[in-house]
Amino acid sequence: MYEHIKKEDRKLFDLIGEERARQHEGLELIPSENYTSSAVMEAMGSILTNKYSEGYAGKRYYNGNEFIDEIETLAMERAKKLFKVPHANVQPYSGSPANLAVYLATCSPGDTIMGLALPEGGHLTHGWKVSATGLFFKSVPYHVLADGRIDMDEVRELAKKHRPKLIWAGATAYSFKYDYPAFAEIADSVGAYLAVDIAHIAGLILAGAHPSPVPHAHIVTTTTHKTLRGPRGGMIMVTPKGIAKDAELPQKIDKGVFPGLQGGPHDHQTAAIAVALKEAGTPAFRAYGKQIVKNAKALAKALRGNGLTLVAGGTENHLILLDLVPVFGPSGGVFASDALEAAGMTANKNTIPKDPGSPFYPSGVRLGTPALTSRGMKEKEMEKIGAWISRAVTAVKDFRLPEGKEERVAYLASFKKSLAKNKELAKIRAEIKAFAKKYPLPSDR
């Protein structure tokens, strides 16, 4: 593989090889990561990367786009058919630009918007204060209850009080299904647009493992690389309800993407999205999406059985939040995530609801099963992985984050050095390396 890179740039070739080995030999537990098929990779590396296609199909600012027009139209039609929507834009470079385009289509600077607070599972682009969406719009965040579920009574009260122009449903660290009818009732009651960000659960929706927001929302956005198992890209879809609210909404969305935020689309990415959408329409993909949820529930059970605490005690989708306060006190996510990596498992530190730590030093770890499921693992394998996670956390359970900011830097540097000498983590890593060899990546089959 990569013979031309090997010839032209040996340093880069070696780095790609090291990353390939890392993916093969370890377990990917980050819920927003996945593995694409060889066909998706081929499209991403195709000759299509040479073309510039500013504009839309049939309305380009450059010549020579007759075949690009067909490719983009193919991707759009597949998205419309799969998600049962009348309009789809497949040009967003990723999920964040897609969400920004929604603001351009529905809001003016200074308008009031609502979204789930970032520390409680929300996404930056749903109005968090450090994002452009929190700087240029009046953001009123809503929160979750003690059990981790969205406080729909609070959403209703805040909407009634502030009358937002746009309400977001969707999250980046939320382990429950969404009450789309309730969100729709609230949005309709104040005349707001309801935009649902399904970046994490798009594949689950297509598999029938999670309800679809399309009958309830005006706009649906998604990335294409998480449970959808495509390239890193984004899509925006306008629903029948969205068009009923504003007949010009599809055109406003398109203008929000181009020329509002972007120049020419990435044609190789568009083609790869088309491939992924074709794959997502197969019976095999539907079985895959359902298995993701089965695996997540099995992993949650294994974690509980090994003495770990989960936010809300479990999951209803692909995602699990470990509450590490009982192990480390506040901010234990920094220890657990690094220990897991040293043991051959990639996860990410994450805030938990009402976190006693901070976003930079959170008390949780976010786990997911999409990538594991792509490798063919099932419930039995989740039992082993749950035990490995527990062993890795236990191996570093005596560490505590100092209260002083100056002390923390030196303490964490010392902690990371200790990981290389930790015999238990090295033992787990060797076990995982042998285990992972039995489960090839989809692109190697």
- CATH for 420: 3.90.1150.10
User: Which residues are CB-contacts of 240 (< 8 A; sequence separation ≥ 6)?
Assistant: 85, 86, 214
Per the structure, the complete domain to which residue 304 belongs is given by: 286-444
Range in 245-254, 351-360, 433-442 the model is least confident about: 351-360
This prediction's pTM: 0.96
Residues 162, 293, single domain; the answer is no
Question: 24 in a domain, yes or no?
Answer: no
Residues 276, 297, single domain; the answer is no
Number of domains in the chain: 2
Residues 254, 364, single domain; the answer is no
The answer to whether residue 268 scores a pLDDT higher than 90 is yes
Bridge-based pairing state of the strands 219-223 and 59-60 = unpaired
b/e for 402-429, b at 16 or more Cβ within 10 A? eeeeeebeeebeebeeebeebeebbebb
Residues 106, 218, single domain; the answer is yes
Residue 230: Cβ within 10 Å count: 29
pLDDT of residue 126: 97
Residue 239: Cβ within 10 Å count: 25
Distance from C-alpha of 214 to C-alpha of 242, rounded to nearest angstrom: 9
Question: 76 in a domain, yes or no?
Answer: yes
Share of the chain above pLDDT 90, in %: 97
Q: Which long-range contacts (CB under 8 A, 24 or more apart) does 309-315 make?
A: 311/148, 311/175, 311/352, 311/353, 311/364, 312/147, 312/148, 312/149, 312/175, 312/176, 314/175, 315/175, 315/176
The answer to whether residue 1 scores a pLDDT higher than 90 is no
Distance from C-alpha of 198 to C-alpha of 226, rounded to nearest angstrom: 10
pLDDT of residue 146: 87
Residues 300, 229, single domain; the answer is no
pLDDT of residue 221: 98
The answer to whether residue 406 scores a pLDDT higher than 90 is no
- CATH for 53: 3.40.640.10
User: Which residues are CB-contacts of 318 (< 8 A; sequence separation ≥ 6)?
Assistant: 31, 200, 201, 204, 227, 292, 293, 296, 368, 369, 370
The answer to whether residue 244 scores a pLDDT higher than 90 is yes
* Active-site amino acid positions: 52, 54, 197, 223, 226, 232
Query: For the residues of 152-212, what is the DSSP string, one character each?
Result: HHHHHHHHHHH--SEEEE--SS--S---HHHHHHHHHHHT-EEEEE-TTTHHHHHHTSS--
Question: In this structure, what token pair is assigned to residue 336?
Answer: 């657990």
Range in 103-107, 177-181, 403-407 the model is least confident about: 403-407
Q: What is the mean pLDDT of residues 127-147?
A: 95
- Reported as a single tens digit per residue, the pLDDT across 363-376 is 999 999 999 999 99
Return mean pLDDT, the chain: 97
Distance from C-alpha of 413 to C-alpha of 417, rounded to nearest angstrom: 6
Peptide bond into 92 cis (omega under 30): no
pLDDT of residue 366: 97
- Reported as a single tens digit per residue, the pLDDT across 326-344 is 999 999 999 999 999 999 9
Residues 55, 130, single domain; the answer is yes
Residues 172, 60, single domain; the answer is yes
Place of tokens 């999409």: 370
Bridge-based pairing state of the strands 55-56 and 364-368 = unpaired
Cα 71 to Cα 67, 250, 262, 419: the distances in Å are 6, 20, 19, 48
Question: 10 in a domain, yes or no?
Answer: no
Bridge-based pairing state of the strands 234-238 and 55-56 = unpaired
